[in-house]
Structure 1
Amino acid sequence: MVPEAEIICQQSISMLDVKYHLCVAQEHIVKVEVSPTSPTPSVPIFAHAVSCSEIIKDSMMETPAKMFIPNVRSGSYAEIGPRGSMDDEHIQIDDLACHLGFVFKYPIPSAFYAVFDGHGGPDAAAYVKRNAMRLFFEDADMLQSYDDDTNTLFLEKLEDSHRRAFIRADLALADEQSVSSSCGTTALTALVLGRHLLVANAGDCRAVLCRRGAAVEMSQDHRPSYLPERRRVEELGGFIDDGYLNGYLSVTRALGDWDLKFPLGAASPLIAEPDVQLVTLTEEDEFLIIACDGIWDVISSQVAVSLVRRGLRRHSDPHQSARELVKEALRLNTSDNLTVIVICLSPIESIAESCPPQRRRFKACSISEEARNRLKSLIEGN
């Protein structure tokens, strides 16, 4: 067994004051790469006990981070698992600037990934995936202003834009006639922009960063068992029954599910507002795993990181590593759909070099009495 060394990231986020008018940007038709195992074909979409905040602030001040540029590549894998239907969706874009149709002044990595875990049917997850670019990158011009010396104000605007994107997606589901009000989805997004990684999460999908072999959780599972969420729910008039929000839902944050939410503008026990974490990447950051809860129900963050790390050292294939993680969760009898994206941030050589050398194991053996006497005579003869 691999010992667990998990870091829990906690960050409280105030409620957003959002106007309920959706400004829809002009369509840009692009295609998103989807895992071959996804039940939905590719469709066009629009163009260890320190606080996580302390880790992020410290890493942003480190000199080596300014010299590090991520080498981004990814692989994904999804399976229906033991469920009767596949309600997961995911997005995998290794070159976001190309998909959005712009070029940075200086070449920098830009990538976008997301996992959506639907409930009450697949419609909410499928809708958010189809409209992801319109919902999450309404202001694509802002991304073009990024450079290596980006200031704190820009990064704060970037965080705020993703918080508002989740609210925008939630409101769009409220107005979408093709999606039932009893249908919803959890959502987790990961944006790589230059040397920065931004993760936004609402629900129980999870993002885990591998930092020199140690698992750093970049998101918080929003479940009724998580005490801050339980308190928030109860303060707003909700209740927890047998681990379920209002006796019905196993998460406390999600997009959609409008039959469980209060009218627009009213504070609700079930919310769509995400937790957002921003980190400055360094050469110690090897890869990121994002996955739906079908993985995390049976595999801890540290075990997942160790499994993927061993796989990448062996075959250097993030798709194969994602598949191995899914197969391990199935072996451990997960009861849910399974979706994983592995995003490599450093060359495979740096992952191998950072691992301690393996000890050679010598097999003990015995020799006969005759051989022992002959060896003794040879030694004494010299």
Structure 2
Amino acid sequence: MGICYSSANGKKKTGLESGNDKADSKLKKGSSGDFATFISKLSGGGAAAAAAAILEEERSLQQIPGRLFSNGASRVACLYTQQGKKGTNQDAMIFWENFYSESDTNATFCGVFDGHGPYGHMVARKVRDALPILIRSQWESKLQNDQNQEVANENGNDIEGMRRFDDFMEEDGCESLEAEEIEKIPEAHIPLKKSILKAFKLMDKELKMHPTIDCFCSGSTAVAIIKQGQDLIIGNVGDSRAVLATRDNDNALAAVQLTVDLKPNLPKEAARIHKCKGRVFALQDEPEVARVWLPNSDSPGLAMARAFGDFCLKDFGLISIPDVYHHHVTERDEFVILATDGVWDVLSNKEAVDIVASAPSRATASRALIDCATRAWRLKYPTSKNDDCAVVCLFLEAPMLQNDASDIPEEEKKVPEEETNKVPSETDAEGSRAAFVVQHGTTKESSEIEPVVEEKTNNNKTNSSNIGQSKRSLAECLSTAEDEDWSALEGITRVNSLLSLPRFSSLDKRSSSWRKWI
């Protein structure tokens, strides 16, 4: 996603700063460092205590066996992220091998998260750490409640408790499970789908009330997969993507897109935003990128219809409710690629699948894909700075003994997270271990997953329909006059997730907390 900077260098206060929370103000001034640096700058009061608790939570998460969140590999997955050339790496990723275990089943979790806005890197990391735990706790609770209800039914008690969960979901505004969608999810996995829906909503609430992360105009995407046995349950918010590599009838490798990029130009998304008084239109200088705008302000220009955070738009059609999909793994399926849009902006689904398949080893597959994406950025957009990239490759079959992770060099298994913020040199990208494959992206029909049309088709629809019109040019919207506090980095157009922050009146700035406006 496009990195966000403050044109005032943090000296000028905005309506985003809390009037009575100096610790948060100090935190915002140090946005160029990593999360540990931010915490060390906090001082006094409840903010310091909250920061200490957060740091302790991060340390405890790092001790969980089978949980990877930085560059590395295991027997069945590899992870790699690389900072672009716009600033702090705002992408995050995770693979959790023993995510949920019972006597008869073992589930794994993997996901990628793409932050945007001034504090997008903090939002993405928070979602990475908290969302899997929320899903697991809701899943365990739901299964336990179902077991208790079965016992109660056997004893002749009423079944009112069975409706308690669904009532909670509907009262809190989550979309109910329609009959058509239930058919796509096997009955055995409906509790997990409901748990994912509830966990995503709780995640957004947690961000809203977080004491040290300002999510008013910062947010994150999320695409996550839970593999339980031979079934994949996928939850998606935003424009990160999951792609399956499978063999067709001719035994050729094909790409199947498992998720839909939730862009504002999708008819269903645009209709919801318009109904909530939000606006959707593309700027003249980037007609292929539909964005979400406030009713009476040409900001923030968010390039997705669903996201965690971004509370300035939550009353105007932006939601964090995920699309949930199911796919049953067959013997033809080989691996799944989860990646942020830094990869998909320059590589098609088929290109990504071919690159991973041709990688020298499973441990290097994610890095090979990012190296090729970096080269593609220079070829396709030579005047633009390449975006952050994060990739998780989940292999659906355990490797043979000779390809086991025990053969992976120790330094390749796990790389400190600080290394993921290193800007690659030109020679690093040239030394890619996989050749750049130039082919057209393809999709393959599935009984559970509907084929997704290539982005070019969607872009043409956007051009013809022009969901909304703007008379302002991109340069005007990215003006850096002294009276403006923030704008997206100039020189980048379609890859910016957020263009500008809303400006507030003096009355708004006197508010003790932006959360009162939500």
* One-letter identity of the residue aligned with 1:299: L
1:187 to 218, 222, 238: 222
Partners of 2:143 and 2:368 in 1: how far apart? 36
3-state SS of the aligned residue for 1:137? helix
Return the TM-score normalized by structure 1: 0.66
Distance in 1, Cα, partners of 2:206 & 2:195: 16
Gaps of 5+ in 2: 1-56, 147-184, 248-252, 283-289, 294-298, 378-384, 401-518
> 357, 366, 383: which one pairs with 1:309?
357
Q: Distance in 2 between matches of 1:110 and 1:156?
A: 15
Aligned to 1:104: 102
Q: Letter of the aligned partner of 1:165 in structure 2?
A: A
Aligned to 1:135: 134
Contact 1:113 1:191 in 2 (8 A): yes
| 2:201 aligned to which of 131, 151, 167 | 167
- Distance in 2, matches of 1:269 and 1:140, equals 28
Q: Report the counterpart of residue 255 of structure 1 in structure 2.
A: 308
Aligned twin of 2:500: none
Counterpart code for 1:74 = A
Distance 1:336 1:75 in 2: 20
Amino acid at match of 2:361: S
Distance in 1 between the 2:113 and 2:268 partners? 23
- Conserved? CA contact 2:131–2:199, under 8 Å: no
Q: Deviations over 1:82-131 (max 9, x none)?
A: 2211111111112223xxxxx4223x442101111111121211222232
Q: Which runs of 5+ in 1 are unaligned?
A: 1-26, 38-70, 98-102, 263-267, 350-382
Cα deviation for residue 140 of structure 1 reads 4.7
Q: Is 1:204 aligned with 2:251? A: no
Q: Secondary structure at the match of 1:272?
A: coil
1:289 aligns with 2:333: no
Letter in 1 for 2:102: F
1:308-357 superposed Cα distances (whole Å, 9 cap, x missing partner): 1222xxx331x3111011011110117311000001002568xxxxxxxx
Give aligned pairs, total: 271
Deviations 1:289-308 (A, max 9, x none): 00111000011111111221
CA offsets, 1:204-257, max 9 Å, x none?
A: 000001111211111110112333322332233211232211151111100011
Q: Report the Cα distance in structure 2 between the residues aligned to 1:141 and 1:161, rounded to whole angstroms.
A: 9
Alignment of 1:140-159 (within 5 A): 140-141=139-140, 152-159=186-193
Match for residue 331 of structure 1? 375
- C-alpha distance in structure 2 between counterparts of 1:142 and 1:105, whole Å: 17
Give the conservation status (yes or no) of the 8 Å contact 1:254–1:272. yes
Counterparts of 1:133 and 1:306, CA distance in 2: 30
Residue type of the alignment partner of 1:231: A
Contact 1:289 1:343 survives alignment (8 Å): yes
Query: Following TM superposition, by how much is the alpha carbon of 1:132 offset from its aligned partner in structure 2, in angstroms?
Result: 2.9
Distance between the aligned counterparts of 1:142 and 1:192, measured in 2?
Answer: 19
Percent identity of the aligned residues?
A: 30
CA contact (8 A) 2:139 2:191 kept: no
Change (3 A) 1:117 1:77: same
Q: Which has the larger radius of gyration?
A: 1
Give, in whole Å, the separation in 1 of the partners of 2:201 and 2:126: 14
Question: C-alpha distance in 2, partners of 1:161/1:132?
Answer: 11
Matches for 1:348-367 after TM superposition, within 5 Å: none
1:74 corresponds, among 66, 77, 80, to 77
The whole-number CA distance in structure 1 between the counterparts of 2:125 and 2:259 is 22
Task: Give distance in 2, aligned partners of 1:343 and 1:72.
Answer: 10
- The one-letter code matched in structure 1 to 2:271 is R
Q: Against the structure 1 CA distance between its residues 72 and 197, is the aligned structure 2 distance closer, same or farther, given a 3 Å change threshold?
A: farther
> How many Å separate the matches in 2 of 1:272 and 1:217?
21
CA gap of 1:198–1:274, structure 2 versus 1, over 3 A, is: same
1:229 to 269, 289, 292: 269
CA distance in 2, matches of 1:171, 1:205: 21
Relative to the length of structure 2, the TM-score reads 0.49
Question: Deviations for 1:160-206, whole angstroms, at most 9, x for unmatched residues?
Answer: 11111111101111111211122211111110011110110000000
Q: Which residue of 1 aligns with 2:94?
A: 91
Greater CA drift, 223-232 or 199-208: 223-232
2:325 maps to: 277
Matched, 1:116 2:126: no
Which residue of the partner structure matches residue 364 of structure 2? 320
Corresponding position of 1:379? none
CA contact (8 A) 1:123 1:183 kept: no
Post-superposition Cα deviations, 1:118-158, rounded to whole Å, max 9, x if no partner, equal 11121211222232343221235369899xxxx94331111
Aligned residues: CA RMSD:
2.5
d(CA) in 1 for partners of 2:221, 2:188: 27
Distance 1:216 1:188, change over 3 A: same
Contact kept, 8 Å, 2:138 with 2:199, in 1: the verdict is no
Residues 279 and 200 (structure 1), Cα distance of their counterparts in 2 relative to 1, 3 Å cut: same
Q: 1:253 to 1:281 in 2, by over 3 A?
A: same
- The letter for the 2-side match of 1:153 is E
